[in-house]
Amino acid sequence: MASDSLHVTDQAALEELKAFLRIPSISTLPEHADQVRLAANFVRDRLTAAGMQNVELIEAPGRHPLVYADWLHAPGKPTILFYGHYDVQPVDPLDEWLSPPFEPTVRGENIYARGATDDKGQTYIQIKAVERLMQSNQGKLPVNVRFLIEGEEESGGEHIEAFVASGDKRLQADAAIICDTEMFAPELPTLCVGLRGIIYGEIHVETAATDLHSGVYGGAAPNAIQAAAEVIAALKDRDGRIAVAGIYDRVTKPSDKEVAAWARLPFDENEYREKEVKVSALTGEPGLDVFERTWARPTFEVHGIRGGFVGEGAKTVIPARAVIKVSMRLVPDQRPEEIAALLSEAVRKAAPRGARAEFKLLHSAPPSLVDPDSPFLTKAAEVMTEVFGRETVYIRSGGSIPIVGTFNQHLGIPSVMMGFGLPDDNLHAPNEKFYLPNFFRGIDAVACYLTRLGS
Amino acid sequence: MASDSLHVTDQAALEELKAFLRIPSISTLPEHADQVRLAANFVRDRLTAAGMQNVELIEAPGRHPLVYADWLHAPGKPTILFYGHYDVQPVDPLDEWLSPPFEPTVRGENIYARGATDDKGQTYIQIKAVERLMQSNQGKLPVNVRFLIEGEEESGGEHIEAFVASGDKRLQADAAIICDTEMFAPELPTLCVGLRGIIYGEIHVETAATDLHSGVYGGAAPNAIQAAAEVIAALKDRDGRIAVAGIYDRVTKPSDKEVAAWARLPFDENEYREKEVKVSALTGEPGLDVFERTWARPTFEVHGIRGGFVGEGAKTVIPARAVIKVSMRLVPDQRPEEIAALLSEAVRKAAPRGARAEFKLLHSAPPSLVDPDSPFLTKAAEVMTEVFGRETVYIRSGGSIPIVGTFNQHLGIPSVMMGFGLPDDNLHAPNEKFYLPNFFRGIDAVACYLTRLGS
């Protein structure tokens, strides 16, 4: 698809998306707070332009605002709650980006920018779908619609969590629509019915009051980074099994029917390893296939270790402190607070002689599963099949969308995860992209789905 | 000693030392290259002012200059080569300094600044001792004297290594005097007769082409920091023994006489642990005492791990690369190139499935031992005993002063290590200090030593 073949309205949508992507709304970096707010304002303004009502920013002290909007003039019809997020991941390592992360650039059929898929592009699908329906139906929608777009999905989501838990009447709805997942393969319409949960935190390791000279004290003083390495190595064995007592106790195996459906998905493990993951060997628990390992098993990952000397050249210091960024992905029926407690205990026990190690939880989200036989799911599958011209598949995702569990717990509604990302979209990595045909088919699919729900 | 009790000349020496300490000559940081040169100029100018001749900067492309000077008008007397270094360690973590590292501050009887002891303060002892002898003897010295002061001791020392190896006639001498070590205890005159060597380098770990999303790929993709932790944990066991095949093969046990002398040193292991090292437990090889572990056994230390995400907040990335800064301290008769090869092989083998790990040597220095019965040593001991009023002890140091091995190998001369630092001087750490009474006694001792050697 050359961009000069786009319809006039498509070009307008693309230009609007680019404007959205130019805002460096990295919610995890405090110095970007102003830009995060600019992105909230952008969403507010575009919802207003689309014809939504009661558009407002919902504030909380020290938090990035929620953007709320509604249109509730379809009595007797279902009420749909759209969820998305306008914040994005950090961009480091910056030097690996082929074009700057906040200068959206179309190359071939993709648009490259931080947030292109996750989740500005997919959030914008929802806004444009509603706008299109409004424009073609004299300002009316086939169902009642609410929007709740957050700015802290990549940094813990405390604001939306508290707001949804507060029982605010504006969130009454029959189902949520979330466009923040990916298709299993290009051209293969996909509904995601399961998500892993997460606990994210830091392991603090301390050995001494100050850093020490490795010549003078090497051989007698404990080393905090050596201790950190020993703690990490103790928490996961070299085969990929998490070595935390009790961690697998509540893990539920996927049903035979689900496993059989996964086995029918188009998948070549060698191609996945070489072309997508780009590694010399896949890892993880022995005896389980890739889908089970990435969708239905918990993980323990280290994201980085701070401490000691990492600059250019040589500094011969015995580090006194190390901070290890870690997370665990959780699966049904693991409970975040229980897993955090098990990890805390295992961390304490793993500290070698002369070191103290402590796990500090930063945020968490429960895992979730959606009933694939709900009419909200089956109608979504019908529409996706029509738009893409192929049978819709049901998958799970290894990622965490905490709001799905929150909606289920506090609003009692299912979340329909219609995702339009692709597996090679480089989420959370350099050169994030969105496949532009999916941006436009996404708008079609969401608009058709609302029409189907209202018919 | 309150500073108002200093003699006028003492005050002048202190002010000159402060000026030296104000220069942030961090040789390991390329952005400090200009300041490193300022420190070289400072040494050149002070040597000239002290009455030394043929003062010059010896340059090499891309290297920090050596400062050379001589005074060779004592025929029939020994020739002494003074060695010191005008470069200093980096200062991070900066926020742990009570006064800024390059604003020398006298608190009590100590002067606080980066380089106060290591090695600007001790290098300046040598210059002031020579100046004092010149002033009190009508411009004459009791022995022939050369100075060779370098600016790369903290960053590899390639320049001086190459210069000494070049066979330059200006380095003909009978012994070297090095003031870059510490006294065993306050008020206890100490000669250091052994140093550990070092290999310093980086372990590069790579698992994938780019960082990956831990939700999508967690459970299938290898993690470079997990792999780094496993490599580190595999290289040293939890008891502190280095788990590198062959690493202990050439380690020579200290003589019974030396071990017996160590046993007479004033030393309380609990006090050392609590007051000096400030740790909850000492570590290192079981069954060996602290002196043997820190002076006569090799070590493996991790200095820092670069890679992944270590900023504020949460980023759920599976890191594709990690760089581990490591060093090993070496003891007689270990050979740096041999140990580097053993470590390289062990690193390669320790890489878990899906990871490549490679050791890259940055620099190295051999261990060294000096004959305690050499007259240069015994006369130094006599002088130290007189100046401090207590019997001089012989110790080793766990640190590395590569030049000692270089002088021995290429010039065939012993190095007399008269050190005036104290164990709590915070070398390579925040709040480095020098005990000022030792600065002045050091000048006395070096001046007396030259006189004794010339008598």
ipTM of the complex: 0.81
The model's pLDDT over A222-255, given as tens digits with 9 standing for 90+, comes to: 999 999 999 999 999 999 999 999 999 999 999 8
Determine, for residues A329 and B219 on separate chains, whether the beta-carbon distance falls below 8 Å.
Answer: yes
Do A29 and B311 meet the contact criterion of CB atoms below 8 Å apart? yes
Task: Report the distance separating Cα A173 and Cα A434, nearest Å.
Answer: 29
**What is the structure's pLDDT at B384?**
97
Determine, for residues A302 and B316 on separate chains, whether the beta-carbon distance falls below 8 Å.
Answer: no
Inform me whether the pLDDT recorded for B328 exceeds 80: yes
Strands B110-112 and B53-58: unpaired
Q: Kindly identify which residue of chain A lies nearest to residue B298, measuring between CA atoms.
A: A219
Å between A364 CA and nearest CA of chain B: 11
Any CB–CB contact under 8 A between B437 and chain A? no
Determine, for residues B229 and A232 on separate chains, whether the beta-carbon distance falls below 8 Å.
Answer: yes
Do B88 and B120 meet the contact criterion of CB atoms below 8 Å apart? yes
For tokens 């604003």, the residue is B103
Sort A57 into a burial class: Cβ within 10 Å, 0-12 / 13-18 / 19+.
Answer: middle
Q: Chain B, 119-178: which have a CB under 8 Å from a chain A CB? A: 154-156
Q: What percent of chain B has pLDDT over 90?
A: 86
Q: Which residues of A touch B267 (CB under 8 A)?
A: none
Determine, for residues A198 and B215 on separate chains, whether the beta-carbon distance falls below 8 Å.
Answer: yes
For tokens 């005993």, the residue is B385
Inform me whether the pLDDT recorded for A2 exceeds 50: no
Do A213 and B429 meet the contact criterion of CB atoms below 8 Å apart? yes
Any CB–CB contact under 8 A between B233 and chain A? yes
Å between A328 CA and nearest CA of chain B: 9
- Region of A131 please: left (phi>0), alpha (psi -120 to 50) or beta: alpha
Find the CB nearest B329 among A218, A240, A354. Answer: A218
Å between A273 CA and nearest CA of chain B: 9
Of the residues B154, B216, B262, B290, the best mutation for testing chain A's interface (the one with the most A CB atoms within 10 Å of its CB) is B216
Do A211 and A225 meet the contact criterion of CB atoms below 8 Å apart? no
Q: Read off the pLDDT band of A257 (50, 70, 90).
A: confident
Determine, for residues A305 and B225 on separate chains, whether the beta-carbon distance falls below 8 Å.
Answer: yes
Instruction: Give, rounded to a whole angstrom, the gap between the first and last alpha carbons of chain B.
Output: 33
Q: Kindly identify which residue of chain A lies nearest to residue B97, measuring between CA atoms.
A: A210
Determine, for residues A398 and B310 on separate chains, whether the beta-carbon distance falls below 8 Å.
Answer: no
The model's pLDDT over A292-302, given as tens digits with 9 standing for 90+, comes to: 999 999 999 99
Task: Report the distance separating Cα A179 and Cα A198, nearest Å.
Answer: 19
Determine, for residues A397 and B216 on separate chains, whether the beta-carbon distance falls below 8 Å.
Answer: yes
**What is the structure's pLDDT at B9?**
62
Of the residues A118, A207, A217, the best mutation for testing chain B's interface (the one with the most B CB atoms within 10 Å of its CB) is A217
Task: Report the distance separating Cα A369 and Cα A395, nearest Å.
Answer: 11
Mean pLDDT of A312-317: 85
Q: Kindly identify which residue of chain A lies nearest to residue B310, measuring between CA atoms.
A: A304
Residues in chain B: 455
The mean pLDDT of chain B is 94
Find the CB nearest B211 among A226, A230, A429. Answer: A429
Do A368 and A194 meet the contact criterion of CB atoms below 8 Å apart? yes
DSSP, res A251: P
Inform me whether the pLDDT recorded for A5 exceeds 60: no
Determine, for residues A283 and B354 on separate chains, whether the beta-carbon distance falls below 8 Å.
Answer: yes
Do B46 and B38 meet the contact criterion of CB atoms below 8 Å apart? no
**What is the structure's pLDDT at B257?**
85
Any CB–CB contact under 8 A between B217 and chain A? yes
**What is the structure's pLDDT at B373?**
87
Q: Chain B, 68-127: which have a CB under 8 Å from a chain A CB? A: 89-90, 92-93, 96
Cα A369 versus chain centre, distance? 16
The set of residues, in sequence order, having a beta carbon less than 8 Å from that of B174 and lying 6+ positions away, is B78, B79, B80, B376, B413
Do B401 and B178 meet the contact criterion of CB atoms below 8 Å apart? yes
Give the CA angle between residues B73, B78, B81 to the nearest 5°. Answer: 85
- Region of B328 please: left (phi>0), alpha (psi -120 to 50) or beta: beta
**What is the structure's pLDDT at A427?**
87
DSSP, res B138: T
- Domains of chain B from N-terminus onward: 3-195+367-454 (3.40.630.10), 199-251+298-365 (3.30.70.360)
Å between A2 CA and nearest CA of chain B: 28
- Any bridge partners for residue B359, and if so which? B203
**What is the structure's pLDDT at A311?**
87
Cα–Cα nearest to B330, from A214, A354, A315, A317: A214
For tokens 């052994």, the residue is B194
Supply A305's token pair. Answer: 């270790």
Do A354 and B274 meet the contact criterion of CB atoms below 8 Å apart? no
Q: Chain B, 284-303: which have a CB under 8 Å from a chain A CB? A: 284-285, 290, 293-294, 297, 299, 301-303
**What is the structure's pLDDT at B204?**
98
Question: Helix (H, G, I), strand (E, B), or coil: what is residue A81?
Answer: strand
For tokens 């594709």, the residue is B320
Mean pLDDT of A205-219: 94
Mean pLDDT of A124-136: 97
Whole-structure pTM value = 0.81
Task: Report the distance separating Cα A31 and Cα A18, nearest Å.
Answer: 22
Alpha-carbon separation of residue A359 from A23, A206, A343 (angstroms): 34, 12, 7
Do A218 and B224 meet the contact criterion of CB atoms below 8 Å apart? no
Task: Report the distance separating Cα B360 and Cα B349, nearest Å.
Answer: 15
The set of residues, in sequence order, having a beta carbon less than 8 Å from that of B409 and lying 6+ positions away, is B366
Number of neighbouring beta carbons within 10 Å of residue B318: 31
**What is the structure's pLDDT at A9?**
63
Residue B10: which H helix or E strand, with range?
helix B8-21
Any CB–CB contact under 8 A between B438 and chain A? no
Supply A327's token pair. Answer: 């997370």
The model's pLDDT over B6-44, given as tens digits with 9 standing for 90+, comes to: 555 689 999 999 999 999 999 999 999 999 999 999 999
DSSP, res A182: B
Mean pLDDT of B331-346: 97
Task: Report the distance separating Cα A241 and Cα A247, nearest Å.
Answer: 10
Inform me whether the pLDDT recorded for B4 exceeds 60: no
The set of residues, in sequence order, having a beta carbon less than 8 Å from that of A169 and lying 6+ positions away, is none
Determine, for residues B198 and A316 on separate chains, whether the beta-carbon distance falls below 8 Å.
Answer: yes
Find the CB nearest A363 among B209, B314, B423. Answer: B314
The model's pLDDT over B69-100, given as tens digits with 9 standing for 90+, comes to: 999 999 999 999 999 999 999 998 899 999 99
Å between A154 CA and nearest CA of chain B: 7
Task: Report the distance separating Cα B107 and Cα B325, nearest Å.
Answer: 34
Task: Report the distance separating Cα A64 and Cα A85, nearest Å.
Answer: 11
The B356-365 sheet, strands edge to edge: B299-306, B321-330, B197-206, B356-365
Q: Kindly identify which residue of chain A lies nearest to residue B90, measuring between CA atoms.
A: A315
Q: Chain B, 346-375: which have a CB under 8 Å from a chain A CB? A: 352-354, 356, 362-363
**What is the structure's pLDDT at A309?**
92
Do B432 and B113 meet the contact criterion of CB atoms below 8 Å apart? yes
Inform me whether the pLDDT recorded for A126 exceeds 50: yes
- Region of A183 please: left (phi>0), alpha (psi -120 to 50) or beta: beta
Find the CB nearest A283 among B92, B198, B222. Answer: B222
Q: Which amino acid is at B30?
A: P
Q: Kindly identify which residue of chain B lies nearest to residue A296, measuring between CA atoms.
A: B219
Inform me whether the pLDDT recorded for B126 exceeds 60: yes
**What is the structure's pLDDT at B220?**
97
Residues in chain A: 455
Any CB–CB contact under 8 A between B311 and chain A? yes
Determine, for residues B306 and A310 on separate chains, whether the beta-carbon distance falls below 8 Å.
Answer: yes
Cα–Cα nearest to A17, from A415, A438, A429: A438
Sort A433 into a burial class: Cβ within 10 Å, 0-12 / 13-18 / 19+.
Answer: buried
Q: Kindly identify which residue of chain B lies nearest to residue A212, measuring between CA atoms.
A: B429
Q: What percent of chain A has pLDDT over 70?
A: 98
Q: Read off the pLDDT band of A314 (50, 70, 90).
A: confident
For A89-93, A376-380, B290-294, which range has the lowest pLDDT when averaged over its residues? A89-93
The A299-306 sheet, strands edge to edge: A299-306, A321-330, A197-206, A356-365
Sort A52 into a burial class: Cβ within 10 Å, 0-12 / 13-18 / 19+.
Answer: buried
Question: Helix (H, G, I), strand (E, B), or coil: what is residue A264?
Answer: coil
Å between B401 CA and nearest CA of chain A: 10
**What is the structure's pLDDT at B313?**
79
Q: Read off the pLDDT band of B428 (50, 70, 90).
A: confident
- Region of A187 please: left (phi>0), alpha (psi -120 to 50) or beta: left
Inform me whether the pLDDT recorded for B311 exceeds 90: no
Do B88 and B116 meet the contact criterion of CB atoms below 8 Å apart? no
Cα–Cα nearest to A194, from A364, A335, A370: A370
Find the CB nearest A226 among B198, B302, B431. Answer: B302
Å between B131 CA and nearest CA of chain A: 32
Do B87 and B155 meet the contact criterion of CB atoms below 8 Å apart? yes
Q: Kindly identify which residue of chain B lies nearest to residue A280, measuring between CA atoms.
A: B354
Mean pLDDT of A251-264: 91
Q: Which residues of B touch A217 (CB under 8 A)?
A: 277, 294, 398
